[in-house]
């Protein structure tokens, strides 16, 4: 009963905040969201998780540097939350809001009529990858982690339904759905930087991190394009989306080794993005085992 009441309160607050943010220009809403999260975030347990992660990922960083990065992390998360209210209004074509680099690679994958995989990470506003693809005629089927609050999950699904082909829940059902998507020759979108309890221990910032093997297994099974998409936040609620060259698919004859080789390449790409803009990554979750 207490949990249901708590969820109900969260839903009312979330809806009210989204409604208020939608009344504001996106730049103002984004700035307000950043300010709110910079105020509240440091008081949450996740702040300690972020600081611990950063200290281990960047052992050479000073306390002042970690403080600065953590503040940027909360700012980025708040901005992304507020921008949810404006996602259906963002035009990724004119270059004013979204600077797109490597568009030709996405269009080539779309026009091939073959399945392909787009992978990215929880950086900047991570909905931009799906939004860019959708506005170019190739809505992605996304695997996602359900929100614990069912009401909030329904609201998130409603927003994302406008620019995704379908949302596949993480787990076995999502894996079956991903196979169906690939069999039908459609594109699949993945954020590969989340914590997993299963998978393969692939290095990430020099420490083993359990990494889902499904993206690599699907890529090798279908021998399809695997497009890394880098996301960056720019000043003024603007974004840069870079569709990088497809990853080379290993073909040694040893499927297990090939899966691990491809996963190493994918994690290395994400790590390079995070190192370049550490304040824009989702440091507030436990990406690594507690006792590593």
Q: Do residues 168 and 178 touch, judged by C-beta distance below 8 A?
A: yes
Q: What is the pLDDT along the chain (292 residues), one digit of tens a residue?
A: 777 777 787 888 888 888 999 999 999 999 999 999 999 999 999 999 999 999 999 999 999 999 999 999 999 999 999 999 999 999 999 889 999 999 999 999 999 999 999 999 999 999 999 999 999 999 999 988 777 788 888 888 888 889 999 999 887 788 889 999 999 999 999 999 988 888 899 999 999 999 999 999 999 999 999 999 999 999 999 999 999 999 999 999 999 999 999 999 999 999 999 999 999 999 999 999 875 5
SS3 64: helix
- Domain ranges for the chain: 2-280
Taking only the tens place, the pLDDT of each residue in 25-36 is 999 999 999 999
The model's pTM is 0.93
Token reading at 20 = 């208020």
Q: What is the CA radius of gyration of the chain?
A: 19
Quick: pLDDT tens for 28-77: 999 999 999 999 999 999 999 999 999 999 999 999 999 999 999 999 99
Helix boundaries (H) for the chain: 2-23, 26-40, 45-57, 63-83, 103-111, 128-134, 150-160, 172-183, 214-222, 255-276
Strand partners, 210: 201
Whether the Cβ atoms of residue 220 and residue 206 lie closer than 8 Å to each other: no
DSSP 93: S
Taking residue 192's Cβ as centre, other Cβ atoms within 10 Å add up to: 23
């Amino acid at each position: 009963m207490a949990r249901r009441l708590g969820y109900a309160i969260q839903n009312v607050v979330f809806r009210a905040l989204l409604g208020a943010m939608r009344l504001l220009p996106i730049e103002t809403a984004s700035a307000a969201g950043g300010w709110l999260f910079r105020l509240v975030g440091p008081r949450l347990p996740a702040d300690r998780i972020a600081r611990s992660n950063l200290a281990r990922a960047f052992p050479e960083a000073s306390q002042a540097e970690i403080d600065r990065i953590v503040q940027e992390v909360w700012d980025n998360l708040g901005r992304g939350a507020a921008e949810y209210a404006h996602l259906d209004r963002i035009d990724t074509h004119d270059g004013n809001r979204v600077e797109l680099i490597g568009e030709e690679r996405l269009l080539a994958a779309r026009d091939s009529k073959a399945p392909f995989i787009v992978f990215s990470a929880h950086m900047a506003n991570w909905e931009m990858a799906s939004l860019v693809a959708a506005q170019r005629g190739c809505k992605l089927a996304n695997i996602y982690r359900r929100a614990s609050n069912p009401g909030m999950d329904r609201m998130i699904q409603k927003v994302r339904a406008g620019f995704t082909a379908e949302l596949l829940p993480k787990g076995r059902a999502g894996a079956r759905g991903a196979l169906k998507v690939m069999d039908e020759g459609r594109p699949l979108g993945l954020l590969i930087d989340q914590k997993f309890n299963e998978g393969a221990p692939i290095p990430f910032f020099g420490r083993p991190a359990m990494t889902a093997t499904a993206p690599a297994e699907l890529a090798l099974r279908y021998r399809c394009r695997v497009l890394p998409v880098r996301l960056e936040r720019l000043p003024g609620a603007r974004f840069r989306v870079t569709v990088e060259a497809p990853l080379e698919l290993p073909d040694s004859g040893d499927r297990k080794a090939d899966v691990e080789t491809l996963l190493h390449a994918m994690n290395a790409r994400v790590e390079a993005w995070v190192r370049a803009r550490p304040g824009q990554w989702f440091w507030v979750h436990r990406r690594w085992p507690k006792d590593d």
